[in-house]
Amino acid sequence: MAAPLMLALLEANQMSMLPCCGSARLPVAELGRTPLKVGQLVIAVGNPYGLNWTVTAGVVSALGRTLEGPGIRSKMTNLIQTDTSINPGNSGGQLVDSLGRVVGITTAMMPMAQGLGFSIPLDTVKSAIARINKRREATPAGVSMGVGGMRVKLDETLRRNLSLAQQHGMELLEIRHDGPADRAELKRLDIIVSAASEPVTEPRDLQRIVRRHRAGEKIPVNFLRGGKQRKVTVIL
């Protein structure tokens, strides 16, 4: 097989796209079809310290994590947090579910910490590939609300009182200082239930909605705080 040529690089997520050269028929990995859940079994396949095809197992510890700080080249958002053993050399390996379906790409570990591994979710990978195929280049979306959070079940009484059809929302756990959400005065523990008139039940919903907009555009956001539904306009 000839040496691969990089087609594109997505710096923000540390991903690149390479063509397969040669005539060999290579096996194709099946992609996951259902949303990940906290507590779900996952398996990381990688090459830590040059040890080929190393497999480690764990569970999904959290979803929608944001990672930044010393040792992290650029801020990364909407990551899958797992307790699988991640070491140098694991990055770029597959994160699969119990059926062997790819649900993410391992990308980072937290230095000096144990049981903290992070992976890029499948939706982010698919979005990057779509942009590459469309323009033959990978340009980061460059637009975000500057939040991290998790899927939570809405209180049944509150749902009835507010006539909400959905059962889940996205609870904000992290808000970037002076980011779009912070400037719109969203706060930690607010629960977003819709953005741009579309339901938000988990972090990937919000990410998908935001990625359809450009920097400077306005998005109406409905959220719950103190048992009441409120609305703000977020400028990306």
Least-confidence region, from 8-22, 106-120, 218-232:
8-22
Does residue 169 form part of some domain?
yes
190 shares a domain with 165: yes
Torsion angle defined by CA atoms of residues 205, 210, 212 and 217, in that order, rounded to the nearest 10 degrees: 150
| Residue 112 reports pLDDT greater than 80 | no
Query: pLDDT band at residue 140, thresholds of 50, 70 and 90?
Result: very low
What pLDDT is stored for residue 83 in this prediction? Answer: 92
Residues with Cβ within 8 Å of 136's Cβ and at least 6 positions away in sequence, in order, are: 7, 8
Q: Are 167 and 158 in contact (CB under 8 A)?
A: no
Same domain, 87 and 50: yes
The pLDDT tens digits for 190-229 are: 999 999 999 999 888 898 888 888 888 899 999 999 999 9
pTM score of the predicted model = 0.54
Same domain, 12 and 103: yes
- Please give the pLDDT value at position 139: 42
Are 76 and 127 found together in one domain? Answer: yes
Statement to judge: residues 103 and 12 lie in one domain: yes
Per-residue pLDDT averaged across 165-188, rounded? 90
Model confidence at 232: pLDDT above 50:
yes
CATH number at residue 198: 2.30.42.10
Number of structural domains found in the chain:
2
**Do 152 and 224 have their domain in common?**
yes
Contact between residue 189 and residue 202 where contact means Cβ atoms under 8 Å apart: no
Residue 40: pLDDT above 90? Answer: yes
> CATH number, domain at 41?
2.40.10.10
Polymer length of the chain: 236
The least confident of 70-79, 117-126, 210-219 is 70-79
Q: Is residue 44 part of a domain?
A: yes
Q: Does residue 31 contact residue 101 with C-beta atoms inside 8 Å?
A: yes
User: What totals of helices (H) and strands (E) does the chain contain, helices first?
Assistant: 4, 14
Q: CA–CA separation, 90 vs 85, rounded Å?
A: 9
Determine, yes or no, domain membership for 221. Answer: yes
What is the residue range of 63's domain?
A: 8-17+37-135
Cα 16 to Cα 2: distance, rounded to the nearest angstrom: 17
122-135 vs 203-210: helix crossing angle, rounded to 10: 20
